[in-house]
């Protein structure tokens, strides 16, 4: 069974979705990702969906779920590079992914993630010693 690779970059995890998502794949991603966050104590997750051309309500909801789970595990999620057609579809489906941070591209997403994590770091969050 295929998996979506999860790359570790410092204290962030990078997920680039480059194939069309189907339900099994997104469920597997959810499990892999939560495992990796717990294992690496990552502070942020960046999901790049710029090559995703199509979403349905299930995948849309799963994106929201993944963000929620990551937050519970102490990692912020940023979804970047959503295509206009995908954004319109999600809105028409009534899924506006509240609670998920978004950015235009990976670079802006990384900036946002750093800013958010830095802000959180101020209030004495669990920072692992390097």
Residue appearing with tokens 């204290």: 11
The tokens for 103 are 């950015």
**Dihedral, 40, 31, 52, 57 alpha carbons, nearest 10:** -140
Q: Pick one of 7, 9, 104, 127: the residue that binds other proteins (CB under 8 A).
A: 104
Q: Pick one of 108, 114, 116, 120: the residue that binds other proteins (CB under 8 A).
A: 108
What minimum distance in Å lies between the beta carbon of 87 and other proteins?
4
Instruction: Write the interaction track for other proteins spanning residues 72-101; mark x where CB under 8 A is met and - where it is not.
Output: -------xxxxxx-xxx-xxx---xx----
Whether the CA torsion 40, 46, 51, 52 is positive or negative: it is positive
Q: Which is nearer to other proteins, 32 or 71 (CB)?
A: 71
Q: Pick one of 37, 103, 113, 117: the residue that binds other proteins (CB under 8 A).
A: 103
Beta bridge partners of 80: 48, 103
Q: Pick one of 7, 105, 125, 127: the residue that binds other proteins (CB under 8 A).
A: 105
Q: Which is nearer to other proteins, 36 or 46 (CB)?
A: 46
- 15 in contact with other proteins (CB under 8 A): no
Q: Measured between alpha carbons, how far is 8 from 84 in angstroms, rounded to an integer?
A: 28
The tokens for 114 are 């750093």
Whether the CA torsion 67, 117, 82, 1 is positive or negative: it is negative
Residues that bind other proteins (CB under 8 A): 79-84, 86-88, 90-92, 96-97, 102-105, 108-109
């Amino acid at each position: 069974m295929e998996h979506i690779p999860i790359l570790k970059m410092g204290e962030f995890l990078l997920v680039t979705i480059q194939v069309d998502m189907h339900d099994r794949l997104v469920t597997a991603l959810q499990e892999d990702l939560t495992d990796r966050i717990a294992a690496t104590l990552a502070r942020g997750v960046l999901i790049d969906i710029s090559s995703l051309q199509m979403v349905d309500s299930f995948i849309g909801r799963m994106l929201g779920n993944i963000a929620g789970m990551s937050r519970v595990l102490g990692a912020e999620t940023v979804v970047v590079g959503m295509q206009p057609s995908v954004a319109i579809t999600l809105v028409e489906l009534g899924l506006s992914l509240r609670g998920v941070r978004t950015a235009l591209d990976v670079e802006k997403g990384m900036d946002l993630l750093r800013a958010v994590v830095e802000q959180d770091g101020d209030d004495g969050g669990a920072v692992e010693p390097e």
